A and B are shown apart, each in its own frame.
Chain A
Amino acid sequence: EIVLTQSPATLSLSPGERATLFCRASETIDRLLAWYQQKPGQAPTPLIYDASYRATGVPARFTGSGSGTDFTLTISSLESEDFAVYYCQQPVTPITFGGGTKVEI
């Protein structure tokens, strides 16, 4: 199975700062990568699919990039509601998720 490794595990930032999250795949997945945001007690919500396409309603401050094995999610200027856990996911079965990056204040 394809292993996704996210880094860092925790990112401590302040509102208004830029957040850069990484996801590395154990083998090439072209641009087949999605990102999700999860807040405590809630289901994940989609942010990005196909590496760089924002899901419906996702603010423009969220940008996905990358291809092959290395991917990045950038939040250009953190808002208070962005402090959450972020997961990457690839669709080659068995579908797998990264271990998550917690963005905390």
Chain B
Amino acid sequence: QVQLQESGPGLVKPSETLSLACTVSGVSIRNDDSHWNWIRQDPGKGLEWIGYIHHSGTTNYNPSLHSRLSMSIDTSKNQISLTLKSVTAADTGTYYCVRDPALGAFDSWGPGTKVTVSS
């Protein structure tokens, strides 16, 4: 059974860089053909897809975030990472690490990590 666990700072100052990690257990990322996604949710609002990365290094980012976004994979730690630069209050929300096993749908979600952008 695949399990995902997000980690990162709960509070980030405006204009700084947000860095999050997702540790994957139950499957080896290097041997799995899934897309590893980040999805966020504004407080009390809907879901926004941020982007995904494949173990080959292929990425696909939401155009709305593309200029500030970077994702990476560390197969030795079985971990994926997200970096979002120049954050603003609009980046506040819960960030989820999510797997798409090449279905076009998301079958495994982490519990999410809350991020607040505030000075």
A residues sitting closer than 8 Å to B (CB atoms) are: 1, 32, 34, 36, 42-46, 49-50, 55, 87, 89, 91, 93-100
Please encode chain B, from 4 to 24, with 1 for each CB lying within 8 Å of some chain A CB and 0 for all others. 000000000000000000000
Chain A residues in 8 Å Cβ range of B63: 1, 94
The total of chain B residues at the interface (CB under 8 A) is 20
Is B48 positioned at the interface, with any CB of A under 8 Å from its CB?
yes
Q: Which residues of A contact B110 (CB under 8 A)?
A: 43
Known: A43-B110, A46-B105, A91-B104. A99 touches B46 (CB 8 A): yes
Q: Tell whether, in the assembled complex, residue A97 and residue B46 are in contact, meaning their CB atoms are under 8 Å apart.
A: yes
Q: Would you call A94 and B49 a contact (CB within 8 A)?
A: yes
Interface of B toward A, CB cutoff 8 Å: 37, 46-49, 60, 62-64, 96, 100, 103-107, 109-112
Chain B binding site: helix, strand, loop or mixed by DSSP?
loop
Q: Which partner residue on chain A sits nearest B112 by CB separation?
A: A43
Contacts of B104 in A (CB 8 A): 32, 34, 49-50, 91
Give 13 CB contacts A-B under 8 Å: A34-B106, A43-B96, A43-B112, A44-B106, A46-B107, A49-B104, A50-B103, A87-B47, A89-B47, A91-B100, A91-B104, A93-B60, A94-B49
Contact A49 B103 (CB under 8 A): yes
- How many Å from the CB of A80 to the closest CB on chain B? 23
